[in-house]
Amino acid sequence: MKRIISILLFSLLWFGSNAQLNTERILAIGRNALYFDDYVLSIQYFNQVIKIKPYLAEPYMYRAIAKINLGDFNGAVQDAGETILRNPFISQAYYVRGFAEVRLKLYQEAISDFTKSYEFSPENTNMLLYRMDANMQVENYQSALADLETYQRTEPKKNMLYERGMIQLAMQDTVAAEQSFLQNISRDSISSNSWSALGLLKMMQENNDDAYRYYSRAIKQKSSFSGDYINRGILNVQRNNYREALSDYDYAIKLAANSELAYYNRALLRVVVGDRNNALADLEKVMQLQPDNFDAVYRKALLEIDLGMYKNAIADFDTIIKQYQYFLPAYYGIADAYDGLQNRKEAFRYRKIAFDMDKNKDEIQKNQKKIDGEVKMAQTSPESKTNKSRELFNRFSAQNSSNDKSETKYTDQTRGNVQDRFVDVMNEKNFVLTYYAKPEELKRTNLYSPIIDDYNKKHILPTDLKITNAEIPLTTEFINEHFERINSISSKIENDDESADLYFYRALEFYLIQDFNSAIEDLNHALVLRSDFALALFCRANIRNKLIDYNNNNLDENTTKKTTKENRLDAEMLMRDYDHVITLQPAFSFAYFNKANILCTLGDFKSAISHYTKAIECDADFAEAYFNRGLTYLFIGENERGLADLSKAGELGMYQAYNLLKRFGQ
């Protein structure tokens, strides 16, 4: 009983208590929540540590990371600054502040912070790349190139030819840039990036034939950069290939639904081919996305005159004149619109204004801003793979990647660690028991389970349990509710410590507030009292898996990660729980699925495939099992089976599968 009370005091009193609590434990739970993307909850924990021990530096730094993920970059800069005030030797704090400063476009400040971080941690060579990116933003190209060269000296095996070429292109050294891109292609002809960059380079040089050839090659390599399609569309227009150009613009919009550039260029093309109504719709979309795009306003007004929408045209021309007082075509346009309305007086008045301005055009020319409705080229290039991998806050979960090898041994893009490297889509995550889940309208996976339904019918829990692999973070209101529930359950356990259901209930509450260790303790109690409690076994395995994931990808740079042998021992413990669940409930498909995911991380792909198959035998519509089995087949080179599974997953509503089918089905 004393042990139960001590757990109760720890777990419940940190909110609003002045007692000297175990702040290290609270900080650790906050970091759990942060790692598993429960940012609002993590901030609550860090707030309590700061309230109890305001002199500690770490909670400010972790709170800054949480704020970055919530889009509060100003708050993150402030918290990182508080960290540095308390301990100016934490290199990660400078990085965190620099990261937020980049989002705020405070590039000089970010450069200073990345420099400081690198001084304290020279082994962290990625800091050179962060600083390189910031230097590029402020056009310090020589400094960016120096950072790249330093990085390459320390990391000679890393291919940075694409990044080098982009810096050289920014420096207008087109000869050197072209050489870098060609060298990169000789090493990696499958990647679309360098082909795309060469297309941009040739387009800037007005060598349109080579530009078209390079963009076509980038697109052949399945480029996902909308600018490649926009620019090839422009080149197709110049070749009078209007149908191909329209197809390129359509695909650019499919890739980037909010690309005002794609809509704008498509509108201009539609005007050329006489599709004026759809051109008008495209220009309206441009103005919705970019209200100050006066090129689009002008083109829209001209179209409205053609379509007899004179009042709309007048309103658009007025908008232009308010911003561009001396733009003569707008006055002539309004005059034409008033002519359309048979208002000759107003038409004459606006033409007179334009005529008087034209007489003083030499003086006015100095003040006139240009609106010309020209075709606009996409100037940026696709983000490099290196740059994408440098996001501190976008981490892979441990169940989707191996700790032993960070790079694939395969050069063929259809082999190796396809889940992480080749596509943005990764293995579907483990299924867990919770009260909250994101609705999935498309997927047809059967989330009904008799064992869960039977337990819900007992009405032990305040809310029905759900099974999901799409958990949602808690809001502040829900967080407080779960802490109150823990208080209430703990009082009941004081009076009845022989109830397995009460321990299970409290374990679920601890799990939701990311206190995994307390949750496992309660599940251990529940299983001592009821050894055949299948749902408790399933939960304990899931939580242990999350702890392994967290330990393998710990945010604390001073923490020693577990060895592969230790990870395997931990994995064996949770495997025993899954096996016990399967023995008790042989039709519980989610236990097979989760075990298969663990087997994948251990490199036992054939056993993983066997367990995915068992899950599918239990539920023929298990979309996630088809998807993960398909990826696993592709991983071991059995492409035909992998593609068949991905096709089935797509049929069952997993749209990600179609992206993979398109890439692997060539």
Give the three-class secondary structure for 125. Answer: coil
What are 254-305's pLDDT values in tens digits? 999 989 999 999 999 999 899 999 999 999 999 999 888 888 999 999 999 9
Q: State the Cα–Cα distance between residues 296 and 502, nearest whole angstrom.
A: 64
Of 39-43, 439-443, 568-572, 577-581, minimum mean pLDDT range: 439-443
Q: State the Cα–Cα distance between residues 521 and 72, nearest whole angstrom.
A: 35
Give the three-class secondary structure for 407. Answer: coil
Neighbour-count burial for 85-121, b at 16+ CB within 10 Å, e otherwise: ebeeebbbbbbbbbbbbbeeebbebbbbbbbbbbebb
The residue ranking higher by pLDDT, 552 or 140, is: 140
Q: State the Cα–Cα distance between residues 214 and 223, nearest whole angstrom.
A: 12
Could you tell me how many residues make up the chain?
666
Place of tokens 């929540």: 33
Neighbour-count burial for 255-272, b at 16+ CB within 10 Å, e otherwise: bbeebbbbbbbbbbbbbe
Q: CB of 542 within 8 A of CB of 430?
A: yes
Q: State the Cα–Cα distance between residues 129 and 445, nearest whole angstrom.
A: 43
Would you state the pLDDT for residue 393?
Answer: 32
Mean pLDDT of 83-104: 94
Angle at 336 (CA atoms; ends 332, 341), nearest 5 degrees:
145
What are 19-61's pLDDT values in tens digits? 345 888 889 898 988 888 888 888 888 988 998 999 999 999 9
Would you state the pLDDT for residue 441?
Answer: 52
Helix/strand/coil percentages in the chain, nearest 5: 65, 0, 30
Q: Exposed, middle or buried: residue 630 (CB in 10 Å: 0-12, 13-18, 19+)?
A: buried
User: Which runs of E-coded beta strand occur in 445-581?
Assistant: 466-468
CA–CA distances in Å: residue 464 to residues 128, 147, 437: 50, 55, 12
Give the three-class secondary structure for 432. Answer: strand
Q: Which residues contact 37 (CB under 8 A, 6 or more apart)?
A: 69, 473
Angle at 147 (CA atoms; ends 143, 148), nearest 5 degrees:
115
Mean pLDDT of 513-520: 91
> pLDDT at residue 1 above 80?
no
The secondary structure element, H or E, covering residue 118 is: helix 107-120
CA–CA distances in Å: residue 203 to residues 206, 207, 378, 600: 5, 6, 10, 45
Q: CB of 630 within 8 A of CB of 652?
A: no
Quote the tokens at residue 226.
């909308």
What are 586-612's pLDDT values in tens digits? 999 999 999 999 999 888 999 999 999
Q: CB of 59 within 8 A of CB of 27?
A: yes
Residue 468 pairs in a beta bridge with 432
Amino acid sitting at position 548: I
Quote the tokens at residue 523.
């599940």
Place of tokens 């703990």: 490
Neighbour-count burial for 451-467, b at 16+ CB within 10 Å, e otherwise: bbeebeeeeebeeebbb
Nearest CA among 239, 220, 201 for reference residue 379: 201
Q: CB of 264 within 8 A of CB of 295?
A: yes
Would you state the pLDDT for residue 472?
Answer: 81
Quote the tokens at residue 393.
């806050």
- The number of beta carbons lying within 10 Å of the beta carbon of residue 372 is 8
Amino acid sitting at position 514: Q
Residue 368: pLDDT band by 50, 70, 90 thresholds? Answer: low
The residue ranking higher by pLDDT, 659 or 586, is: 586
Quote the tokens at residue 90.
């934490």
Q: CB of 296 within 8 A of CB of 311?
A: no
Q: State the Cα–Cα distance between residues 74 and 79, nearest whole angstrom.
A: 9
What are 414-440's pLDDT values in tens digits? 322 333 333 445 789 999 999 887 766
Would you state the pLDDT for residue 6?
Answer: 34
> pLDDT at residue 13 above 90?
no
What are 94-114's pLDDT values in tens digits? 999 999 999 999 999 999 999
Domains belonging to the chain, first-starting first, are: 22-158 (1.25.40.10), 224-389 (1.25.40.10), 432-554+562-664 (1.25.40.10)
Q: CB of 276 within 8 A of CB of 299?
A: no
Average pLDDT, the chain: 83
What are 305-333's pLDDT values in tens digits? 999 999 999 999 999 999 888 888 889 99
Alpha helices in 513-561 (DSSP H): 516-529, 534-552
| Alpha carbon 602 to its chain's center | 26
Classify the C-alpha dihedral 43-48-51-53 as positive or negative.
negative
Mean pLDDT of 521-542: 95
Place of tokens 């540590």: 49
Residue 377: pLDDT band by 50, 70, 90 thresholds? Answer: low
Residue 64: pLDDT band by 50, 70, 90 thresholds? Answer: very high
Residue 434 pairs in a beta bridge with 466
Quote the tokens at residue 164.
């080098």
Would you state the pLDDT for residue 378?
Answer: 60
Q: State the Cα–Cα distance between residues 177 and 279, nearest whole angstrom.
A: 37
The residue ranking higher by pLDDT, 35 or 523, is: 523
Phi, psi values for residue 271, rounded to 5°: -60, -45
What are 235-244's pLDDT values in tens digits? 999 999 999 9
> pLDDT at residue 454 above 80?
yes
